[in-house]
A and B are shown apart, each in its own frame.
Chain A
């Protein structure tokens, strides 16, 4: 089945850019997502990208997709302390309409 990998931890200074990376195995994945989870909370959908796109920008968020390398990244510009959270990459199995998640990247923003 699908496998999604993320690095576990990223620390940045406030005001810097953050880049969270994700790799996946199933080349037929058509939709790829980024979710944010704060302590004790559910998952907040940040953005998603369709597999025929290379890039998507939404305010401070930029998603880059390299289909050849099966690599997805999320860039957060001007990172703020409120961005501290766990970020999950997820890919859609369109046959089952189920999301496969990575293990999450904990982003720590230093003031």
Chain B
């Protein structure tokens, strides 16, 4: 089954403790992206990647890092999480080319205390 898998689905952590949210897709998609969703602010893009070893900042990249060493994986790294990074996070992927639909993971609900 074609899917985008995020782990963990839920995470509660403390301020400053480094964490990684993993994202994996099995569709051989070139494009992958991370979004965060907050009440009243909607979905905002954090980082995206157009292919292996190619990443770029989205609208709200501060406090986040990503890597794209393999095509299928696009982890989101929070080196020093802070409470304002408490949010619902979504990973997405799509194939390269025109008019292509994006597939989203089921989300990771992160709470930083």
**A, B in one complex:** no
Residues of B within 8 A of A (CB): none
Residues of A within 8 A of B (CB): none
